[in-house]
Structure 1
């Protein structure tokens, strides 16, 4: 059995378990709608896997077009393993999917097209599986900041005396003394100590 047929068999068993649980009468309407959305996504994933395994050509680059604002459609939960509680049979499905992803032929097939990762990573998260190394994204390391790009910290706060003049405004000048103004009186000399200028008689 080829890889596409094995993957379709896994998805068929998953869809059967979803359909059985979704047909229960005591199921909440929100959960029923969620399982219906999951069933649709699973069928789409099986068809997409078969197309990629057959060697689908890469998509053509298209210019981005502005899209009108639309209300956001309901989506599946992004919590890891959320399907294990409403559908306990999903644990067996997860084991079969893990065995498929550990097959060397599957690892080689996934390495040929990055679209397999975009298809299989959400399925692994739904079943509570950690993506194997062949499905992990290769994130580019962050570039370290260049040396000397950090500005030194300012230790003193700018005041009126050390603040630089604003651009476009002249620097303040010192006042020029007026020659016609009367001269200022000189300050009196410092007063000597009392013991030298006027000896105290109590100390004599």
Structure 2
């Protein structure tokens, strides 16, 4: 259910939109300066603008309960340029130019400051989708995720004892195995002789 954004929420949206606009501009400007393939520049630009759009939709949608997400089938990207990946791939692809060295450093710092805002922390706590959107961005920029974006580990499963094999009741099992019952063993040798006489 869409909720009316508060002035603080609008401010956060504007700040995040500005950060993503700076990153998208860096991708285009430095991509051309480094003579990267046009298809690769467009793919990176689309990735960044997609993060910005998803973030805005998640914030405007309002708090949502945490739920198990189904893993979607990966689209066929045989004809698409492969996107960079790994920790800090944005600074590696766009290290900077002589007039704009380490260009991604400034938006990365702005992103850290944004996550330090208490209102932002509250949004992430009440809307897990925002955390899922932001984690790949921190990975791409090569900056450590703050505690608010930590992935909660599932609780350890309780170990359930397995039932006895072959439906045997361990309470009535005998160990070591008992010898077979022999009637003669119940009588002494003298008693057997008297009976025979």
- Given the alignment, which residue of 3, 27, 34 partners 2:35? 27
Report which of the two structures shows the higher radius of gyration computed on alpha carbons: 1
Residue aligning to 2:142: 128
- Give the match for residue 17 of structure 2: 8
1:78 corresponds, among 60, 85, 101, to 85
Q: What are the superposed Cα offsets for residues 111-151 of structure 1, whole Å, 9 maximum, x if unpaired? A: 111110121111110001222122122121332545688x9
Deviation at 1:85, TM superposition (A): 2.3
Q: TM-score, normalised by structure 2?
A: 0.61
Task: State the distance in 2 between where 1:8 and 1:74 align.
Answer: 25
What TM-score, normalized to structure 1?
Answer: 0.59
- Alignment size in residue pairs: 144
Secondary structure of 1:23's counterpart equals helix
Structure 1 CA distance, aligned partners of 2:57 and 2:20? Answer: 15
Aligned to 1:115: 129
Local SS of the residue matching 2:61: coil
Which has the larger share of helix?
2
Q: CA deviation at 1:21?
A: 0.8
Structure 1 segments of 4 or more deviating over 4 A?
56-59, 66-75, 146-149
Q: Which has the higher contact order (CA 8 A, sep 6+)?
A: 2
Q: Where do 5+ consecutive residues of structure 2 fail to align?
A: 1-9, 95-101, 166-197
SS at match of 2:133: helix
Cα gap change, 1:103 to 1:28, in 2 (>3 Å): same
**1:22, 1:36 within 8 Å by CA — same for their partners in 2?**
no
